Amino acid sequence: MGALLQGGLMNTLNQRFGEWRLLMIGLLAQAIEMFATGGATVLWVLLAGIVIGGLMNVVHPTVPSLASQSAGESEQGAIQGAIAGIDSVAGIIGPLLSAWVFDEVVQAFGAPDGVMYFGGAMALVAAGVLWWTRHPRHLT
């Protein structure tokens, strides 16, 4: 799904929805996938969640594009480097935090699917931050 989206459909989706909406769609799709996967009791819910969650593959190429548009020409390298650095740190912290949440939730509640709900909640937080920063009227 990621190869299909990033390799062939990214430009079409970008033209159809715009980068900001595409990023929001990807984050919400990830949240849906995480909640559906965590709560799936039948196969079709799991499979539907996975298919919908495939749309999260639009997030990774969209973030650098949006960031580069907000930076000046002389800042492009710094922006792309910062994004790569944040991506690397997230690749370390994310699994560690998920493992900790998994351990705590399983021990406290006996609910191994809690880590999926945590991931869904984090995707919703990211979508909320994106929405809030896109609509700065909340800041006035």
Q: Is 58 helix (H, G, I), strand (E, B) or coil?
A: helix
Distance from the Cα of residue 4 to its chain's centroid:
17
Q: What is the pLDDT of residue 111?
A: 77
Tell me what pLDDT residue 89 has. 94
User: Measured in Å, how far apart are the chain's first and last C-alpha atoms?
Assistant: 41
- Measure Cα distances from 118 to 17, 20, 59, 124, 136 in Å: 28, 24, 19, 10, 27
- Helix 10-17 and helix 19-39: axis angle, to 10°? 110
Polymer length in residues for the chain: 140
User: What pLDDT, in 10s, does the model give residues 31-79?
Assistant: 999 999 988 889 999 899 888 988 888 888 888 888 888 778 888 888 8
Q: What is the largest CA-CA distance in the chain?
A: 52
pTM, two decimal places = 0.81
Helices (H), 1-140: 2-4, 10-17, 19-39, 43-53, 59-70, 76-109, 114-134
pLDDT in tens, 90-140: 999 989 988 888 888 777 877 778 888 888 999 999 999 988 887 655 444
Q: Please, are residues 29 and 56 in contact by the beta-carbon 8 Å criterion?
A: yes
Q: What is the pLDDT of residues 87-97, one digit of tens each?
A: 899 999 989 98
